[in-house]
A and B are shown apart, each in its own frame.
Chain A
Amino acid sequence: MSGNKHHIGYGTYVIVWIALLAFTAITVTIAGVSLGRYTLFIALLIAAIKSALVINIFMHIKFDEPIFKIFLALSGTTILIIFVLTFVDILYR
């Protein structure tokens, strides 16, 4: 895989790991705060950032062939649209 060509230092991994922990802490904290209808959006946003970090850095997609990025982008877009359509129901019910 071309991912091997690009070496990522341990430093990056550690930073990303700390970032993930921090986001998890924020999620847990926020769960106790009442943000009304924004609660869900913020939780989802944080989850999205976390998965982007994992996919790009830990799973090396950032350094991989374009075809994998296209595949992922396609799946990601589909999920996004599915979320939007579901929220059209939940918000306007």
Chain B
Amino acid sequence: MDNSSGVLPVEQVKKSFYQESTNKYTGIGAWLLTKDHKRIGLMYMYAIISFFVVGAIIGLLMRLELLSPGGKLFSAQTYNSLFTLHGVIMIFLFIIPGIPAIFGNFFLPIQIGARDVAFPRLNLLSWYVYITGAILALTSLFLPGGPIDTGWTFYIPYSVRSGTNVSLALFAAFVLGFSSILTGINFVTTVHRLRGKGMTFFKMPLFVWATYATAWIQIIATPVIAITILLVIIERAFGVGIFDPALGGDPILFQHLFWIYSHPAVYIMILPAMGVVSEIIPTFSRRTIFGYKQIAYSSLAIAFIGYLVWGHHMFSSGQSDLSNMIFSLLTFLVALPSGVKIFNWVATMYKGSIDPQPPFLWVMSFIVLFSIGGLTGLVLGSLATDIHLTDTYFVVAHFHYVMFGGTGTIFIAAMHYWFPKMFGKMYNIKCANVAVVLYFIGFNMLYFPKFIMGYMGMPRRYYNYLPMYTPYQRISTYGSWILVGTIFFIIGYFVYAYYRGKKATSNPWGGVTLEWHIQSPPIMENFETLPVITHDPYDFSQLKEMKNE
């Protein structure tokens, strides 16, 4: 970045956005009524992490129930509610909004050289819509009727018959969908309208590309689930007979509509994570990313093909054989762009001068866990093997490896990468290195035995099991203690760093995308004068100039 770029010289420390308010209020009002994308990102962060902790504790409780056979801790009905809640919280409140709402909000405008998102007020509104949805979901737990027990997939006909508060919980998901759509519209507009001078599409960092592709899925796919949810509510209230087979409806149609959204939603979860990986790997390899355009295009390809594979969730539902074959074929296709990314990341590291700092180590564990998840996905994508494995623990293991091992791990990686920028403090590197090892061990202990149990025939969503599974269930439960313990440890050292940590420099990792050119934490509206972009996004020759800035 040359001097004309107008990026703030790093030593010159200005008031950060924490010290300035976008409105006339200070204190809590400065947060709750803010229009600043960074504050909104942080408000999302506090909310989302809280829900994640709740979800994790429910997961822990389920594992406790499964420590030994016999179903001693909870009744079957309670277990049904627990896995439903766990699934709903983790999917709708944690993993779908997670990376875009927090890191997308905070860093997307900065990375393209903008002062804020295109619609700051809409951005705040989407936070309130999110919180409203979350409160509705919580309310559904305590009203008479009790917490829902349908599983997070709300399959018909049970979701019409269940006496629990299904309608309210569904309505909560409906509201949450709106928040997602609003964020998507905001990001697409921001990328099209607010890119800085010289920031052409192919100079954008890959995190922006990934968030952009995600935003499109959010806009196009989410309305489908909204309509579907409304139809189920109508079906419950008036018994119209759209889905309910007893009234002449088509229950498989529900599964189509549900997965037409929920499969692309899987890519809402993973694409932003892949974007974060494409940021972290070049920074810690000190090498420009290999195959920039291929990675950018593969995000778009994943976003598009992701629409066409939903039927692979329905191989045993009774849909037509022809559909099964077509969806199986398309499923194999979507593995290609994901493969393109993995190979490009590895090629980027090849002959780089690798600096194994914590964010990089988290990404390495991501590559292993996500690959296991992805490859077992192909096992499930083949018709013959799926018939044996569907609705067993194999599926539970598979989706935890992709969602948690993939997106969840990168969520933590992104925290480690951007924490110094967001808070201006550095966490303890040694603790972080220990955490990544413990996490990796705990994770595999918790979920790998589930592959084996699934293969042996252990069905998912059962509160009890045959004694033959005991050793595997034990290992899995011990793993959950290590894993959840590690998560609390991580939160602990972040909180400690927030209050007591050493001050972070503006560029602790030697990154070159725009956020590393500005001070930590950034000033209100990010840039003193808007930058003019002359370099490619991962051009590390800038580092020398940046030192002189």
Contacts and interface: CB of A to CB of B under 8 A. Distances in A.
A14 interface: no
A1 interface: no
Interface stretch (A17-25, A28-36, A46-54, A85-93): A85-93
A67 to B, nearest CB: 7
A75 B220 contact: yes
A78 B220 CA distance: 9
Given A78-B307, A81-B308, A88 B220 contact: no
Contacts of B311: 85, 89
Nearest to A81: B308
Contacts of A82: 260, 307
A86 B256 contact: yes
B318 interface: yes
A71 to B, nearest CB: 9
A92 B323 contact: yes
A88 B308 CA distance: 12
Interface string A52-87: 000000000000000100000001001001100110
Majority-rule SS of A interface residues: helix
Contact of A93 (B307, B320, B326): B320
B549 interface: no
B192 interface: yes
Given A67-B192, A75-B220, A78-B220, A85 B319 contact: no
A88 B320 contact: yes
A1 to B, nearest CB: 14
A86 B260 CA distance: 10
Contact of B252 (A78, A89, A92): A89
A93 B220 contact: no
Interface in B300-320: 304, 307-308, 311, 318-320
- How many A residues are at the interface, by size bracket? 10 to 19
A67 B189 CA distance: 12
Contact of B320 (A75, A78, A89): A89
B322 A88 contact: yes
Main secondary structure on B side of the interface with A:
helix
B195 to A, nearest CB: 14
A90 to B, nearest CB: 8
Query: Most chain-B Cβ atoms within 10 A of its Cβ — which of A81, A82, A86, A89?
Result: A89
A92 to B, nearest CB: 4
Contacts of A86: 256, 260
Nearest to B317: A89
A88 B307 contact: no
Contact of B323 (A67, A75, A88): A88
Q: What's the interface size class on B, roughly?
A: 10 to 19
B307 A89 contact: no
Given A67-B192, A78-B307, A81-B308, A89 B319 contact: yes
A88 B256 contact: no
**Most chain A C-beta atoms within 10 Å of own C-beta, residue among B308, B320, B323:** B323
B41 to A, nearest CB: 26
Given A67-B192, A93-B318, A85 B323 contact: yes
B1 to A, nearest CB: 30
Interface in B215-272: 219-220, 252, 256, 260
B256 A89 contact: yes
Contacts of A92: 320-323
A74 to B, nearest CB: 8
Nearest to B256: A86
Contact of B326 (A75, A85, A90, A91): A85
Contacts of B321: 92
Nearest to B252: A89
Contacts of B323: 85, 88-89, 92
Contact of B319 (A67, A81, A93): A93
A20 B75 CA distance: 56
Contacts of A88: 320, 322-323, 326
B320 A85 contact: no
A11 B479 CA distance: 72
Contacts of A91: 320
B59 to A, nearest CB: 33
A82 B327 CA distance: 12
A81 B219 CA distance: 17
A67 B201 CA distance: 15
Contacts of B220: 75, 78
24 contacts: A75-B219, A78-B307, A81-B307, A81-B308, A82-B307, A85-B311, A85-B327, A86-B256, A86-B260, A88-B323, A88-B326, A89-B252, A89-B311, A89-B319, A89-B320, A89-B323, A90-B320, A91-B320, A92-B320, A92-B323, A93-B252, A93-B318, A93-B319, A93-B320
Given A88-B323, A89-B323, A93-B318, 4 more contacts: A82-B307, A85-B323, A89-B256, A90-B320
| Cβ-closest 8 pairs across A and B | A92-B320, A89-B323, A93-B320, A89-B319, A92-B322, A89-B320, A88-B323, A75-B220
